[in-house]
Amino acid sequence: QAMQKRLSEISSLGSQVKVGTPVKQLVRGKLVWVGFMEHSGFFKWFKDPSTPGYLVVSAHDPSDVSLVMELNGAPLKMRYLLSSYFDDRVERHAYMSGVHTVGLTDFEPEIDDDGRPFYIGTSFEHRVGFSGGETTGIVVVDAINGEVKRYALGAEPAWVDRIQPEEFVREQMKDRGQYVKGFININDEGRMRVDGDLDLVYGADGRPYWVGGMTSKGKNNG
């Protein structure tokens, strides 16, 4: 809401772009929400294939809102986005840039410590037939010039926060204890389910962690 309110204060932007889904990120030691300006529709994209920036809101003070439309004194023009079309759409752009031998998922916006906008996608392989997705690394797409870089797991830049997709973590949490009593388990003894949504939190070491509650399937015990 704080992002949308700030965007609406500029009449020339409110009708052209919208705020994408904000993501939590640690930038230079400050915990913030980052939301990219996305196209509000096909004809808006067709008229202008780039958006002019992104918004940053402090995770501690929602009144601390920054609208970033310049980088190093030059206007921002973000072209490779989730809301773009055809070859400008970030997933397709990454695929067409040569990353087509592995699965790609969970493209999320992030900024580096200098404020440059990127999309971070997770590369993965299925380890159990057509399921059991395991992360193998990330793909970093520059939202401005479209440069694509691929990193193996553990070799990613230090500013990247989101590597493991929430859906992968949730699935592995659900699988924990699935066969603790064997394949046939009528009473669901020992089996668990994820209780509610997962949240990205930061530990004392500054590293991000997915945290979620677990409830037993057989009994409603957390």
DSSP 64-124: -EEEE-EETTEE--B-SBTT--GGGBHHHHHHHTT--SSEEEEEEEEE-TT--EEEEEEEE
Contact 169, 198 (CB under 8 A): yes
Residue 112 scores a pLDDT above 70: yes
**What is the rounded distance in angstroms from the CA atom of residue 17 to the CA atom of residue 51?**
7
pTM confidence score: 0.85
**What is the rounded distance in angstroms from the CA atom of residue 55 to the CA atom of residue 35?**
5
Q: Could you tell me the pLDDT band of residue 128, with boundaries at 50, 70 and 90?
A: low
Q: Could you tell me the pLDDT band of residue 189, with boundaries at 50, 70 and 90?
A: low
Instruction: Please tell me what DSSP assigns to residue 63.
Output: T
Calculate what percentage of the chain has a pLDDT beyond 70: 87
* 126 or 84: which leads in pLDDT: 84
Sign for the CA dihedral angle at 154, 141, 58, 73 comes to: positive
**What is the rounded distance in angstroms from the CA atom of residue 68 to the CA atom of residue 85?**
23
Q: Give residue-wise pLDDT tens across range 18-67.
A: 999 999 999 998 999 999 999 999 999 999 999 999 999 999 998 899 99
Q: Give me 40's structure tokens.
A: 């509000």
**What is the rounded distance in angstroms from the CA atom of residue 70 to the CA atom of residue 31?**
21
Contact 155, 138 (CB under 8 A): no
Q: Could you tell me the pLDDT band of residue 132, with boundaries at 50, 70 and 90?
A: low
- Measuring CA to CA, how many Å separate 138 from each of 15, 71, 89, 112, 148? 34, 24, 17, 15, 10
Which pLDDT belongs to residue 218? 65
| DSSP per-residue string spanning 131-168 | EEEEEEEEEEEETTT--EEEEETT-S-TT----S-HHH
Residue 120 scores a pLDDT above 80: yes
**What is the rounded distance in angstroms from the CA atom of residue 203 to the CA atom of residue 120?**
21
The three-point CA angle 77-90-206 to 5° equals 85
